[in-house]
Amino acid sequence: MELVRVDKLPIKKVVEGLLELQKTGESATLLGIGPMSKNCVQATLELSKEYDFPVMFIASRNQVDMDELGGGYVNGWNQFTFAKAVQEVANDISYDNFYYMCRDHGGPWQRDKERNDHLPLEEAMELGKRSYVADIEAGFDLLMIDPTKDPFEVGKVIPLDTVLKRTVELIEFCENERKARNLPEIGYEVGTEETNGGLTSTETYETFILRLQEELEKRGLPMPTFIVGQTGTLTRKTEQVGTFNFRNAYDLAQMAKKYGVGLKEHNGDYLDDATLLEHIPSQITATNVAPQYGTEETRAYLKLSAVEAKLAKNGLIDDPSRTREVLLTHAIQSERWRKWMVGEQQELTVEEIMADDQLSEEILDIAGHYTFNDDEVKAEIEKLYQNLEKHHIQGQRYVIDHIKRPIRDYVECYNLKGATTRILTKVQQ
């Protein structure tokens, strides 16, 4: 059979193809990548083109959102400028594979400010819905329906009934909005609890799927493409502090597959190769990775800064940039590092961090990427590039290649090489 190259398969078709390929061992685990910067987008698309695999860009509401709701910290992108930026990179590199625009953690209270302000449920749901409408109009392919954050239930797991009710309401809303605009089908991602490094029991998982299926069928709504399950992974600081549980992951994957749905894993950053290799036999359909790539970009800037400092010390650069200093100051003052810290360190003041050199370096590693869109940071990075280019070092090219290294580890272990061709062959049979 001759392989027909299509414009783009719907994300649900991709997952269906992967579930079929699991029977022959030719499947892959998709990679959902947090679009931490335009450099990260380019690194991802270059690898996708080079190794022939589909990729998902998973943007949280803090990263990318409507201007009216506060925008996003990544390049100040809203849904439309984000989609345009990805398309520009794709055009620049003559990209010829499939990429999918995905909403990660959409829904009520998913912006930090909404949660910190303790917005009432009705207002939080309304803002979540407005954000989804912009996602749909901007052409997003997958929406994560996540009503598991609730400022009034701090430290508690949200009751399953509540999660189910809000999930169905939001899917129905999104489908009505999509159909009203006569837009193509989109996929949905749902989950039973907040991703906190624990394990999802197979009993809870199946109960949720069965009840969700019943409620969706009543309303003529589609089943989700992915259901998130906790496999034990957890990211804190710049480490994987969880413990991947193969047995639990495998059981959840089988449970999801019974209903034609893929198991999605979150908090997949900084996994070692042995754990990555376990993802194919465990039949996890997709993993999300985000802060790791932001940290890798920060580290690339720091390495370039070290080279610039050496050249300045040897009299080759008269006016070195202040990239390292500015990144450090902005990272600490952003206070966005708090969500990744452990225990009492979450409560440290900016002044206490500034006074501790070792802790300051740690914060820079964790939170540097939150500052890439700050004007002063952008100016110093541009100056860094210009200084290095005079001495035949292509700084931005180095940064993109540096980000590609850890992504490539996942591509290799997740059997992603040639995955698009395998999926197309399967769905066209």
CA 326 to chain centre: 26
Helix, strand, coil percent values for the chain (each to nearest 5): 55, 10, 35
Indicate whether 1 belongs to any domain: no
Phi and psi at residue 231, in whole multiples of 5°? -105, 5
Biggest alpha carbon–alpha carbon distance for the chain: 74
Band (pLDDT 50/70/90 cuts) for residue 1 is: very low
Q: Say whether 409 sits in a helix, a strand or coil.
A: helix
CATH number at residue 142: 3.20.20.70
Same domain, 238 and 90: yes
102 & 56 share domain? yes
Per-residue pLDDT tens digits for 137-181: 999 999 999 998 999 987 777 888 999 999 999 999 999 999 999
- Crossing angle for the helix pair 323-334 and 357-367, nearest 10 degrees? 80
Tokens 């998982």 belong to 205
* 197 and 224 share one domain: yes
DSSP character at residue 271: -
- Is 144 domain-assigned? yes
The one-letter code for the residue type at 85 is A
- Residue 2 included in any domain: no
- Same domain for 343 and 222? no
Q: What is the pTM of this model?
A: 0.95
Query: CA–CA separation, 83 vs 417, rounded Å?
Result: 25
Q: Would 5 be classed as within a structural domain?
A: no
Does residue 4 sit within a domain? no
Give a yes or no: residue 3 inside a domain: no
Domain count, the chain: 2
Same domain for 180 and 70: yes
Whether residues 177 and 313 share a domain: the answer is no
Residue 17, domain member (yes or no): yes
Query: What would the pLDDT profile of 231-250 be if each residue is shown by its tens digit?
Result: 999 998 899 999 999 999 99
Looking at the structure, tell me whether residues 278 and 390 fall in a common domain: no
Residues 362 and 420 in one domain: no
Strand 235-236 vs strand 239-240: parallel, antiparallel, or unpaired? antiparallel
Together in a domain, 59 and 125: yes
C-alpha distances in Å from residue 113, one per residue of 59, 126, 217, 311, 419: 17, 15, 35, 43, 39
**Contacts of residue 343, Cβ cutoff 8 Å, sequence gap at least 6:** none
Asked if residue 183 and residue 325 are part of one domain, the reply reads no
Both 302 and 384 in a single domain? yes
**213 with 334, same domain?**
no
pLDDT tens-digit map of 303-325: 999 999 999 999 999 999 999 99
Domain that holds residue 371: 294-402
